[in-house]
Chains A and B, each alone.
Chain A
Amino acid sequence: MIEFDPPKPILQQQYVLKTVAENMMRPVSRYFDEHEHEIPYDYIQFMHQAMRATGAGSLAPSEEKKPEGEKEKRPPIGYQMLAHMLEMLAWGDVGMYLVTPGGGLGAAAVQAAGTPEQRQKFLARFAGEKPTFAAMCMTEPHAGSDTAAIRTTAVLDPQTNEWVINGQKIFVTAGDKSLTPREEFGKGFIVVWATIDPGAGRAGMRAFVVEMGTPGVKVVKLEKKMGIRASDTAAIVLDNVRVPFDHILGSPTVEKETEKGFKRAMLTFDATRPLVAATGVGVARAALEFLKEKLAENGIQIRYGLPRQKLTNIEREVIDMEIMLRSAWLMVIKAVWMADNRMPNALASSISKVKAGDVVTRITQRAVELLGPLGYSREYLLEKWFRDAKITDIYEGTGQINRLIVARQILGYTGAELR
């Protein structure tokens, strides 16, 4: 079947989330944009309690599995719910959405690459009393998109059976909240990508869970950014950090031929790319709605159904934006629908990110221009959305990296065949 009805639970969820976006996010958007590195505790507490109560959006393992007989026959919609949730929260404020507790990319990595025991051990905390954060540490000062070039090392100490990690990580979203102890927050962790065999390239790459309070790991800098300023972006140094043996995600031995470890890591991105794309769509929708509202206030109605030759430039722009926005959203929905139905979605996932990255930058940039001085003024949030939007085309794989992945998929090429 081909159908486009959002499932009922999603509609109910969206109704609630819209209220959150309108009342908890938008009114303080400007404040946290202008007070970088202040923490929106009210929003964090509220979301934590709400998510605890409903179980929404959290990767924490669910209590007891229902006995076989009682299992509901309904198709799974977890990722679809998450995509809708992220879109709406990003519509509210994408910087604040990024400080939503629940583990973020760190938890997603454990979920994707961890054993059932590891999931229990590391993910249960997100359902605890205090809001808790986790973060993913991949990028290093000299290695961004080229993730296989990272230099952080993990060496097994046979004496203590501990991994000893050394290196430097940057651009860690929520790194500070995950690592720096605060009374308001629970004990978080970071997932650090390191090599267990520097000569092995991708095959040697593994992820390690490093918990808050582990000696030797610390945040050395909080970046000052163009946008998404409510979200902390940390630089982290790991100096002889020792973690227990079972903190490695995936196999502890290097399988040179298969690159399994690396591919596992990339699996995380297949799952999360459409979610990041969803946040881009949320920002783009906010900008387009604002643009249309301002145009309507000025007596400009968009006429649909006309040949392009008869449209004004503004109508043409708005109509093009609507085409871009809706199609980008449908690509996100298709990618998460595939994930929910356990279909391989590497192509759908990356293609949705390519599209959303293009669309959100185009729409916010055009909207600022079309509203002239109003667009550029900090009196309105549009200029902030323009700044917030750009990150969508950079993090979680730049537009160019995702194009590369899409190209390899459609051409049937390996990384070696298409570099």
Chain B
Amino acid sequence: MYAFEPSEEQKMLIDAINRYAANDLRAAAHEAEESGELPPKLIEKGWELGVLQASIPEAYGGFGERSAVTGVLAAEEMAWGDLAGAMAVFTPHLFALPILLTGSEAQKQEYLPAIVEGEWRPYTAAMIEPFFDFDPQALRTTAEERDGGYVLNGIKIWVPFAAQAPAMIVYASLNGQTQGFIVPAGTAGLEISSEREKLMGLNALPFYRLTLKDVFIPKTQRLGEEAGHAMEPILAAQWVAQAAMAVGVARAAFEYSRDYAKEREAFGVKIAQKQAIAFMLAEMATEIEAIRLLNWEAAWKIDTGKEDAWQQAYLAAVGAMDMAMMVTDRAVQILGGHGYIRDHPVELWMRNGRGFAMFTGLMMV
């Protein structure tokens, strides 16, 4: 059957996240962006909502089962509050979910309970590389088989919380295939930049650059161990998260500019009463809904094991890039000069909106 209404349980989760997103994330977003710091208490409070914990089975310390549909609902709501905050809360997903989806039994036992039973700790992942044509499936960072293990070489950028991470997954090309490797903090040859990376947006998130020089990884630390792992489930989980967060940011920008347009007067009427503005808003709402549904279906395909799930997840992520750019740009446009001033959040959302084209690997549900 077709059905377009979240379950009661999902609705309760969305409500809880919405309160946190509105009262905590949104309230802190401006200050966090300007100062470059997210208060640890803020992240911890988001972590306690238990999105990841509910995705991990009891056998590994969690209290549920992973559902991509629930994940995209949660990610949209979280990112609606603030993208940087949402990404911070979800950073451990980047480590735990690949292990849950493709790790060996021993790897699940070793890492998952430690992550989900405790307070928020920034287990993270290194995916992005400093090239214009960066492609998660054609990485320049290499892994070579040597001495009963693997040796990693390369450069990774935009690794969230790398300096504080107890462990991270580093993606590298092994014989042309992207594979994940579990790299604990302090591994020899792993160099983390002392300075944080500087981006157009997401100033609140601490990103670091990694240099990997002959980093030796034992076979037991390859994701899925010797057999390795498929990349599709990981990419699909990244793409639907990306699309969901894009929907969340776009929805925030849409709502803010809609409300502004109903307040602001020009030529004796509210500007929302002008078709030039009203039609922009109608198109923004249309595109948000279009990508939301496309992404819901992609997530549902993941949950029901459809073969083309990863393909639709890709379509959703690509569509989300354009949608987020269009919607956030128009939000700034509707506020006019005021939209360009950092007192209003729309310029931040527009900078975030552009980023979705490059955020593959930074979010996962």
Residues on A close to B: CB < 8 A?
Answer: 1-7, 75, 77, 80, 304-310, 319-320, 322-324, 326-328, 330-331, 333-334, 337-338, 351, 354-355, 400, 403-404, 406-408, 410-411, 413, 417-419
Closest A residue to B319 by CB, please name it: A323
B290-320 Cβ-contact flags toward A at 8 Å (1 or 0) = 1101101101110010000011101110110
Q: How far is the CB of A347 from chain B (nearest CB, A)?
A: 8
- B225-276 at interface with A (beta carbon < 8 Å): 235, 258, 261-262, 272-273, 275
Q: Is B135 an interface residue (CB 8 A)?
A: yes
Q: Is B114 an interface residue (CB 8 A)?
A: no
* A-B pairs with beta carbons under 8 Å apart, 21 shown: A3-B1, A5-B304, A6-B2, A306-B137, A307-B135, A308-B318, A319-B315, A323-B315, A324-B319, A326-B312, A326-B315, A331-B290, A333-B2, A351-B289, A355-B290, A403-B283, A404-B279, A407-B281, A410-B258, A411-B272, A411-B278
In the complex, the answer to whether B294 meets A323 with C-beta atoms within 8 Å is yes
Q: Top 7 closest A-B pairs, CB basis?
A: A327-B290, A407-B278, A323-B319, A330-B293, A406-B282, A407-B282, A327-B294
Q: Is B286 an interface residue (CB 8 A)?
A: yes
In the complex, the answer to whether B273 meets A417 with C-beta atoms within 8 Å is yes
Do A354 and B314 contact each other (CB < 8 Å), given the known contacts A306-B137, A413-B272? no
CA distance A77 to B1 in the complex (A): 9
CA distance A330 to B296 in the complex (A): 10
Using Cβ atoms and an 8 Å threshold, which residues of chain B touch A309?
A: 132-133
CA distance A351 to B291 in the complex (A): 13
CA distance A278 to B297 in the complex (A): 18
Using Cβ atoms and an 8 Å threshold, which residues of chain B touch A5?
A: 1-2, 304
Using Cβ atoms and an 8 Å threshold, which residues of chain A touch B293?
A: 327, 330-331, 334
In the complex, the answer to whether B5 meets A1 with C-beta atoms within 8 Å is yes
Q: What 7 additional pairs, Cβ within 8 angstroms, besides A6-B2, A326-B294?
A: A1-B7, A2-B10, A319-B318, A320-B318, A320-B322, A323-B315, A323-B318
Closest B residue to A7 by CB, please name it: B1
Using Cβ atoms and an 8 Å threshold, which residues of chain A touch B132?
A: 309
In the complex, the answer to whether B290 meets A310 with C-beta atoms within 8 Å is no
Using Cβ atoms and an 8 Å threshold, which residues of chain B touch A355?
A: 286, 290
Closest B residue to A8 by CB, please name it: B1
Q: Is B28 an interface residue (CB 8 A)?
A: no
CA distance A154 to B39 in the complex (A): 70
Closest B residue to A322 by CB, please name it: B315
B334-361 Cβ-contact flags toward A at 8 Å (1 or 0) = 0000000000000000000000010010
CA distance A50 to B357 in the complex (A): 49
Using Cβ atoms and an 8 Å threshold, which residues of chain B touch A80?
A: 2
CA distance A413 to B262 in the complex (A): 10
Q: Is B78 an interface residue (CB 8 A)?
A: no
Using Cβ atoms and an 8 Å threshold, which residues of chain A touch B272?
A: 411, 413, 418
Residues on B close to A: CB < 8 A?
Answer: 1-7, 10, 69, 132-135, 137, 235, 258, 261-262, 272-273, 275, 278-279, 281-283, 285-286, 289-291, 293-294, 296-297, 299-301, 304, 310-312, 314-316, 318-319, 321-322, 357, 360
CA distance A351 to B281 in the complex (A): 12
Using Cβ atoms and an 8 Å threshold, which residues of chain B touch A337?
A: 2-4
Do A404 and B2 contact each other (CB < 8 Å), given the known contacts A305-B314, A310-B135? no
Which one of B261, B290, B311 lies within 8 Å of A304 (CB-CB)? Answer: B311
In the complex, the answer to whether B235 meets A305 with C-beta atoms within 8 Å is yes
- Tell me if B's interface is mostly helix, strand, loop or mixed: helix
CA distance A3 to B10 in the complex (A): 13
Using Cβ atoms and an 8 Å threshold, which residues of chain A touch B283?
A: 354, 403
CA distance A7 to B301 in the complex (A): 16
Using Cβ atoms and an 8 Å threshold, which residues of chain B touch A304?
A: 311, 314-315
Which one of B5, B273, B289 lies within 8 Å of A2 (CB-CB)? Answer: B5
Which one of A305, A404, A419 lies within 8 Å of B137 (CB-CB)? Answer: A305
Which one of B2, B278, B318 lies within 8 Å of A3 (CB-CB)? Answer: B2
Using Cβ atoms and an 8 Å threshold, which residues of chain B touch A77?
A: 1
Which one of B137, B297, B304, B321 lies within 8 Å of A330 (CB-CB)? Answer: B297
In the complex, the answer to whether A351 meets B1 with C-beta atoms within 8 Å is no
CA distance A415 to B134 in the complex (A): 49
In the complex, the answer to whether A2 meets B282 with C-beta atoms within 8 Å is no
In the complex, the answer to whether B300 meets A410 with C-beta atoms within 8 Å is no
Which one of A306, A308, A406, A411 lies within 8 Å of B357 (CB-CB)? Answer: A308
Q: Which of A4, A5, A307, A355 lies at the interface centre, i.e. has the most chain B CB atoms within 10 A of its CB?
A: A4
CA distance A77 to B2 in the complex (A): 9
In the complex, the answer to whether A354 meets B137 with C-beta atoms within 8 Å is no
CA distance A328 to B293 in the complex (A): 9
Q: How far is the CB of A320 from chain B (nearest CB, A)?
A: 8
CA distance A201 to B215 in the complex (A): 79
Closest A residue to B73 by CB, please name it: A2
Q: How far is the CB of B146 from chain A (nearest CB, A)?
A: 29
In the complex, the answer to whether A3 meets B3 with C-beta atoms within 8 Å is yes
Which one of A7, A310, A418 lies within 8 Å of B273 (CB-CB)? Answer: A418
In the complex, the answer to whether B282 meets A354 with C-beta atoms within 8 Å is yes
Q: How far is the CB of A302 from chain B (nearest CB, A)?
A: 10
CA distance A145 to B172 in the complex (A): 58
CA distance A368 to B258 in the complex (A): 37
Using Cβ atoms and an 8 Å threshold, which residues of chain A touch B2?
A: 3-7, 80, 333-334, 337
Using Cβ atoms and an 8 Å threshold, which residues of chain A touch B316?
A: 323
Q: Which of A7, A330, A331 lies at the interface centre, i.e. has the most chain B CB atoms within 10 A of its CB?
A: A330
In the complex, the answer to whether A4 meets B133 with C-beta atoms within 8 Å is no
CA distance A7 to B310 in the complex (A): 23
Using Cβ atoms and an 8 Å threshold, which residues of chain B touch A308?
A: 318, 321, 357
In the complex, the answer to whether B282 meets A410 with C-beta atoms within 8 Å is yes
Which one of A7, A307, A328, A354 lies within 8 Å of B134 (CB-CB)? Answer: A307
Q: How far is the CB of B16 from chain A (nearest CB, A)?
A: 18
Q: How far is the CB of B170 from chain A (nearest CB, A)?
A: 19
CA distance A307 to B297 in the complex (A): 21
CA distance A403 to B280 in the complex (A): 9
Do A413 and B4 contact each other (CB < 8 Å), given the known contacts A305-B310, A327-B319, A418-B278? no
In the complex, the answer to whether A406 meets B286 with C-beta atoms within 8 Å is yes
CA distance A75 to B134 in the complex (A): 47
Using Cβ atoms and an 8 Å threshold, which residues of chain B touch A6?
A: 2
